[in-house]
Amino acid sequence: MRFDIITLFPELFAPLLTSGITRRAYEAGLVDVHLWNPRDHAEGNYRRVDDRSFGGGPGMVMMAEPLFKCLSAIRDDRREAEPAPLVLFSPIGQALNHTAVAQWSASAGAVLLCGRYEGVDQRFIDQYVDQQISLGDFVLSGGEIAAMALLDALARLQPGVLNDEGSHQLDSFNPSLDGLLDSPHYTRPEVWQGHAVPPELMSGHHAHIERWRREQSLSLTAIHRPELLEQARQLGKLSRQDESSLQRLKANMTQVAQPSPKKKL
DSSP conformation letters of 142-192: BSHHHHHHHHHHHHTTSTTSSSSTTGGGGSTT-GGGTT-PPPP---S-SEE
The reply to whether 40 belongs to the active site is no
The reply to whether 51 belongs to the active site is no
Residue among 143, 101, 119 at smallest CA distance from 1? 101
pLDDT in tens, 39-58: 999 998 889 999 999 999 99
What pLDDT does 171 receive? 75
The reply to whether 23 belongs to the active site is no
What pLDDT does 90 receive? 96
Looking at 171, 198, 200, 225, which residue is catalytic? 171
pLDDT in tens, 210-231: 999 999 999 999 999 999 999 9
What pLDDT does 264 receive? 57
Q: Which residues of the chain have pLDDT under 50?
A: none
Looking at 91, 175, 184, 226, which residue is catalytic? 91
How far apart CA 195 and CA 173 sit, in angstroms, is 28
The reply to whether 198 belongs to the active site is no
Domains by residue range for the chain, with CATH: 2-155 (3.40.1280.10), 175-257 (1.10.1270.20)
Decide: helix, strand or coil at residue 6.
Answer: strand
Looking at 10, 24, 118, 233, which residue is catalytic? 118
Residues 14 and 144 sit within 8 Å (Cβ to Cβ): no
pTM of the shown model: 0.89
Looking at 38, 50, 144, 156, which residue is catalytic? 156
What pLDDT does 167 receive? 56
